[in-house]
Amino acid sequence: MALVEVKVPDIGDFDEVSVIELLVKPGDTVKAEQSLVTVESDKASMEIPSSKAGVVKDLKVKLGDKVKQGSVLLVLEGAETASAPAAPTPVSAPTPAPAQPAPVAGASTGIEIHVPDIGDFKDVAVIELLVKPGDTVKVEQSLLTVESDKASMEIPSSAGGLVKEIKVKLGDKVNVGDLIAVLEGSAAAEPVVLPATATPAAPAGRVPPTVALQPHESATTPGQLPHASPSVRKFARELGVPLEEVKGTAPKGRITQEDVQAFTKAVMKGEAGTRAGGGKTPAGSGEALGLLPWPKVDFAKFGPIERKDIGRIRKISGANLHRNWVMIPHVTNHDDADVTDLEAFRVQLNKENDRAGKAADDAGVKVTMLAFLIKACVAALKKFPDFNASLDGDQLVLKQYYHIGFAADTPGGLVVPVIKDADKKGILQISQEMGELAKKARDGKLGPADMSGAGFTISSLGGIGGRYFTPIINAPEVAILGVCKSRMEPVWDGEQFQPRLMLPLSLAWDHRVIDGATAARFNAYLGAILADFRRTML
Ligand code: CAO
């Protein structure tokens, strides 16, 4: 039987993208054009189709792998034509970003912004207008979002200025060269070369939020990922619909937008799925859980009020936090770590870095306690591997990598960027990466890859204050460390009180996986490391 390697076709300007879904497994029979994997960059997600039909013999990639054009995805057996090179598969491997001159500067009529080269995308629908007349836009600022059935992408402005007119409306179909907006103002008169920017099909949350709090009969076989296009995934995530619980009505069980809508309606009516006891699935209001309805109050009766929409990030993180709070039996252990010596070392290190930075005509990296905490947690996770784990049915998945998430406060809400392979990095590198990720977070530029893969998370309020708090575990992780501001305290050394700098720690853990005694030991070990960082070398 002929064996054929199926490779990643031309995916435009995407250098390296992460595999976020495997849509087939060895033994599956696939047709030509059937989607094999979903890949995602910080800008877009897209499905890569098979260029041949056959039986999957060997998968050459796994979740999290980085691939680029030419990477082998899998080997097919019995493929139609073994000799012909795998043709690029335009339908499902969109080329979102080849650069092309986009705007034409009109002398008196303003600057026209046209759809740049968007690869194989034709007749793509405008699904979002991101600016309106009167707005001031910068070069590269996204003007609108377009979407095909395979990916969505943002079309950036190739010039800066004041938006005079928007030439398209929601639902319009656009193609390369179509006029989308007219600007007035500061832009250069020369055409600017700009790529179309593919936008994340996934929003900022790294775990699809879910509205249903009770287990349903799953529409997907366990271990198998739901089959849906990026746009449907995005739609589902926006609504907080767990795709694995939606039954797909399209061929091969593919989930359509209508399926997601139908699911939402059913949940709202309390009809989706039934509990083991035969009751209705909760509708999110609390009533279906047998709780009192949420109080409805006319607040304006009591004084002036203002209504404000909840932002996208907050909605997504809120849905995740709600699920985690309800579904995980949390317990929190509080403790203190003596960081007197570590803090003295940190201050000294920053002084040295500052001097070195000045000498090198470059700002030195600033080290905060959080970088040491990340490193100390890696040591504690190595000693207590159950804390670097996830529950998967009856199994515990123990991770042998040490990716540490840290909660970052942004104007839009809470996000959790991840320091990957923290065990292999020094304090300065961790500090530098943290600084970069925190900046990206504040600028709203974190991509899904920046926020995925954590095995354990730290939420530090040390720069703000407080003593202790009860952080919510970031599922599917099983523990999270909350840290507050250190302060000088009198500590009894057996003979007298000594002034020591004490760091408050709050370790929240999933009682399905961890017990109180282990959590207390984890905190004690972490405290010992923070008190004497040389222990990380042991
Ligand atoms: N004790 C005392 N001081 C501390 C400290 C601690 N535990 N941790 C940080 N500090 C100090 C820093 O040294 C820094 O001091 P200087 O300004 O004098 O240099 C100051 O506090 C500010 O630190 P920072 O917050 O800028 O830096 P960080 O590395 O500690 O944290 C980041 C970075 C991104 C995690 C943080 O800015 C942030 O967003 N924190 C909020 C996280 C959050 O919201 N958690 C709650 C989640 S639950 O809703």
Homologous superfamily (CATH) of 202-289 is E3-binding domain (4.10.320.10)
In single-letter form, the type of residue at position 115 comes to V
Q: Does the beta carbon of 260 sit less than 6 angstroms from any atom of ligand 1?
A: no
Closest to 485 in 3D by CA, of 506, 502, 507, 472: 502
Q: pLDDT confidence of 13, banded at 50, 70, 90?
A: low
Q: Does the beta carbon of 483 sit less than 6 angstroms from any atom of ligand 1?
A: yes
C-alpha span between 117 and 398 (Å, rounded): 45
CB 281: neighbour CB atoms within 10 A? Answer: 23
pLDDT of 309 higher than 80: yes
Q: Does the beta carbon of 377 sit less than 6 angstroms from any atom of ligand 1?
A: no
Long-range contacts of 426-433 (CB under 8 A, 24+ apart): 427/349, 427/367, 427/371, 427/372, 427/375, 428/353, 428/365, 428/367, 430/371, 430/374, 430/375, 431/365, 431/366, 431/367, 431/368, 431/371, 432/365
Q: Which two tokens stand for residue 156?
A: 């950036």
pLDDT tens-digit profile of 332-349?
999 999 999 999 999 999
Among the ranges given (268-282, 388-402, 499-513), the one the predictor scored with the smallest mean pLDDT: 268-282
Q: How far is CA 150 from the centre of its chain?
A: 19
Q: How far is the CA of 505 from the centre of ligand 1 (A)?
A: 14
Give 185 or 109, the one with higher predicted confidence.
185
| CA distance to 119, 388, 530, per residue, from 205 (Å) | 28, 20, 31
Q: pLDDT confidence of 260, banded at 50, 70, 90?
A: confident
Among the ranges given (200-214, 281-295, 394-408, 436-450), the one the predictor scored with the smallest mean pLDDT: 200-214
C-alpha span between 103 and 177 (Å, rounded): 9
pLDDT of residue 15: 75
| CA distance to 117, 232, 353, per residue, from 212 (Å) | 41, 18, 50
Closest residue by Cα to atom 16, ligand 1, is: 463
pLDDT of 99 higher than 70: no
DSSP state of 107: T
pLDDT of 299 higher than 70: yes
Give 222 or 530, the one with higher predicted confidence.
530
Q: How far is the CA of 408 from the centre of ligand 1 (A)?
A: 9
Q: How far is CA 295 from the centre of its chain?
A: 33
Give 225 or 74, the one with higher predicted confidence.
74
pLDDT of residue 307: 95
Closest residue by Cα to atom 48, ligand 1, is: 471
Give 263 or 229, the one with higher predicted confidence.
263
Cβ-based neighbours of 277, under 8 Å, separated by 6 or more: none
Region(s) of the chain under CATH 3.30.559.10: 323-537
pLDDT of residue 97: 37
Among the ranges given (39-48, 145-154, 222-231), the one the predictor scored with the smallest mean pLDDT: 222-231
Q: Which two tokens stand for residue 221?
A: 């076989």
Q: Which two tokens stand for residue 171?
A: 């639902």
Q: Is-contact 481 454, C-beta < 8 A?
A: no
Nearest ligand 1 atom, CA 371: 29
Q: Does the beta carbon of 121 sit less than 6 angstroms from any atom of ligand 1?
A: no
pLDDT of residue 472: 98
Cβ-based neighbours of 129, under 8 Å, separated by 6 or more: 143, 144, 166, 168, 169, 170
Whole-number average pLDDT of the chain: 81
Q: Does the beta carbon of 406 sit less than 6 angstroms from any atom of ligand 1?
A: yes
Q: What percentage of the chain reaches a pLDDT higher than 90? A: 47
Q: How far is the CA of 369 from the centre of ligand 1 (A)?
A: 8
Q: How far is the CA of 435 from the centre of ligand 1 (A)?
A: 11
Q: Does the beta carbon of 459 sit less than 6 angstroms from any atom of ligand 1?
A: yes
pLDDT of residue 42: 61
Closest residue by Cα to atom 36, ligand 1, is: 408
CATH top-level class of 323-537: alpha beta
The CATH number for 3-77, chosen from 2.40.50.100, 3.30.470.10, 1.10.1740.10, 1.10.940.10, is 2.40.50.100
CB 359: neighbour CB atoms within 10 A? Answer: 9
Q: How far is the CA of 419 from the centre of ligand 1 (A)?
A: 16
Give 356 or 142, the one with higher predicted confidence.
142
Of 368, 414, 419, 486, which is best to mutate to test ligand 1, by the most ligand atoms within 8 angstroms of its C-beta? 368
Q: pLDDT confidence of 201, banded at 50, 70, 90?
A: very low
Closest residue by Cα to atom 24, ligand 1, is: 463
Give residue for tokens 């060269």: 177
Nearest ligand 1 atom, CA 410: 39
**Domain boundaries 111-184, corresponding CATH code:** 2.40.50.100
- For residues 196-215, average pLDDT: 29
Q: Does the beta carbon of 486 sit less than 6 angstroms from any atom of ligand 1?
A: yes
Q: Does the beta carbon of 388 sit less than 6 angstroms from any atom of ligand 1?
A: no
pLDDT tens-digit profile of 261-283?
888 877 766 554 433 333 334 44
Could you list the active site residues? 511
Region(s) of the chain under CATH 4.10.320.10: 202-289
Measured in residues, the chain has a length of 538
pLDDT of residue 321: 95
pLDDT of residue 495: 97
Q: How far is the CA of 244 from the centre of ligand 1 (A)?
A: 37
pLDDT tens-digit profile of 120-150?
678 888 887 888 899 998 888 888 877 776 6
pLDDT of 521 higher than 80: yes
C-alpha span between 212 and 338 (Å, rounded): 43
Q: Does the beta carbon of 485 sit less than 6 angstroms from any atom of ligand 1?
A: yes
